[in-house]
Amino acid sequence: MKSEVFFIEVKPSDPEARRNALQKLLERVNPFSDYKKDEFIPLKLTIGDSQCVYNVHPELVKIIVSEIKKFKAKPFLFDTNVIYKGERLNAIDHLALAQSKGFGYTKVGAPFIIADGAFGQDGKEHAIDSDYIKKIKIPSFIGSLDSLVVLSHATGHILSGYAGAIKNIAMGMVSKPSKQVQHSSLKPHVIEKKCTSCGCCIKICPAQAISSDTLRSPNKAPFDKHKASHAVIDQTKCIGCGECLSACKFDAVFINWSEDHDVFAKRLIDTAHFILSKFKNKLFITFGFDITKECDCISTKNELIFSENIGILASHDPLAIDKAMVDLVNSDKDLFKETGLLDTHKTIFEYGRKKGLGNTDYILVKI
Ligand code: SF4
Ligand code: SF4
């Protein structure tokens, strides 16, 4: 049976048009009417990094919070800490950033919590039945609550190709140790003849895995372009976050994607599948506005927007909503491919369907 994906087209960048469209979509789909009085409703979202301006807008979140409250339920927003440098590396800076980006209680009407604790290490560990990942650590409230709402901003992503609901869940609902395992199959190398010794990758690497040569620690001696011929990645220290790939402007960082992205995609699916199995009622809302090549962790206001605005999608099926967004973006031609993004999402859809995460066949219900 095909899954329903509700779709309201919104082409303008006008904030009011976006708010009106969301309100209309919620009125039509009426997704919150089964919520019980006093039921906690977790809303997963990412606020984006400090330079990102295209993340899900707090005004849109406020509308969703307000609709949920009409049913006397108790919505709260949550995210987890990230594994790379920035203001979302720990809960203290992360919460301050949320406040400054308009996600404070007084603005959106619901509290925002960092679900994996002060340093991203908290949570409950579970064994998982997967050939690709053996255990995951997830926020401890998962398993105690019936409902989940996942709010995603549609973007490209350096590893997953498309980033929407599934990436938001699989990477965004696990603690740091599990994020690192998910990335651990990705082992970049430096192409010596392309490396200009600019040092950008060394500055950004969260694991201090890159140095100017194999003997010198980047902590003890700063990168010296006059002495070093190229950067070197210590494979034993690398956690596979992919930050150096984004940082290098000279195409000098190389990852063997044909070997790595298949495992990465399957880990995402197995993780998302396990997490979603813990909730009875699941709703996914994805905003196809300002669709950038890089995800909200990396993008800035100068980021390449590679697709016209699409609109808002809502579904109870995470695979169907992601597939529908990719199909809408690619309605004329494969814009992901043209933009130079990987097609990992194709593996995600195929493996996700096989594992029963959802349907790749869907009915687009236009509103
Ligand atoms: S992927 Fe690159 S930036 Fe990330 S830990 Fe490995 S070497 Fe460092
Ligand atoms: S960012 Fe690229 S060019 Fe610069 S040191 Fe690293 S690998 Fe070399």
CATH number at residue 8: 3.40.50.11440
Token digits of residue 188: 């970049």
On whether the CB atoms of residues 66 and 25 are closer than 8 A, the answer is no
Return the pLDDT at 235.
Answer: 87
CA of 39 to the centre of ligand 1 (A): 41
Residues 340 and 193 in one domain: no
In whole angstroms, what is the distance from residue 236 CA to residue 25 CA?
49
In whole angstroms, what is the distance from residue 249 CA to residue 254 CA?
12
Residues 227 and 301 in one domain: no
Residues 171 and 239 in one domain: no
Return the pLDDT at 352.
Answer: 97
In whole angstroms, what is the distance from residue 147 CA to residue 35 CA?
8
Residues 272 and 344 in one domain: yes
Among 220, 239, 254, the domain boundary falls at 254
Return the pLDDT at 302.
Answer: 86
Residue with tokens 């690192």: 180
Using CB atoms within 10 A of its CB, is residue 40 exposed (0-12), middle (13-18) or buried (19+)? middle
Residues 209 and 93 in one domain: no
- Ligand 2 touching residue 245 (CB < 6 A): no
Residues 82 and 170 in one domain: yes
Range of the domain at 235: 187-254
CA of 247 to the centre of ligand 1 (A): 10
- 240 CB-near residues (< 8 Å, 6+ apart): 180, 183, 184, 185, 186, 187, 188
Among 224, 254, 284, the domain boundary falls at 254
Residues 146 and 32 in one domain: yes
On whether the CB atoms of residues 57 and 13 are closer than 8 A, the answer is no
In whole angstroms, what is the distance from residue 46 CA to residue 180 CA?
18
In whole angstroms, what is the distance from residue 149 CA to residue 78 CA?
10
- Ligand 2 touching residue 265 (CB < 6 A): no
Among 235, 254, 273, the domain boundary falls at 254
CA-nearest of 175, 180, 205 to 90 is 175
Closest atom of ligand 1 relative to the 234 alpha carbon: 7
On whether the CB atoms of residues 328 and 6 are closer than 8 A, the answer is no
Q: Is the dihedral of CA 100, 153, 357, 187 positive or negative?
A: negative
Return the pLDDT at 207.
Answer: 85
CA-nearest of 311, 331, 315 to 8 is 311
SS (H, E, C) 28-90: HHCCCCCCCCCCEEEEECCCCCCCCCCCCCHHHHHHHHHHHHCCCCEEEEEECCCCCCCCCCC
Return the pLDDT at 338.
Answer: 95
Residues 106 and 195 in one domain: no
The number of folded domains in the chain is 2
Residue with tokens 């990992």: 344
CA distances from 333 to 93, 289, 327, 342 (A): 41, 18, 10, 15
Token digits of residue 293: 């090549």
Residues 279 and 149 in one domain: yes
Below-70 pLDDT ranges, the chain: 213-228, 256-259
Residue 204, domain CATH: 3.30.70.20
Return the pLDDT at 332.
Answer: 94
Q: Whose CA is nearest to atom 1 of ligand 2?
A: 248
Return the pLDDT at 263.
Answer: 87
- Ligand 2 touching residue 140 (CB < 6 A): no
CA of 223 to the centre of ligand 2 (A): 11
Residues 176 and 211 in one domain: no
- Ligand 2 touching residue 108 (CB < 6 A): no
Token digits of residue 267: 């880990």
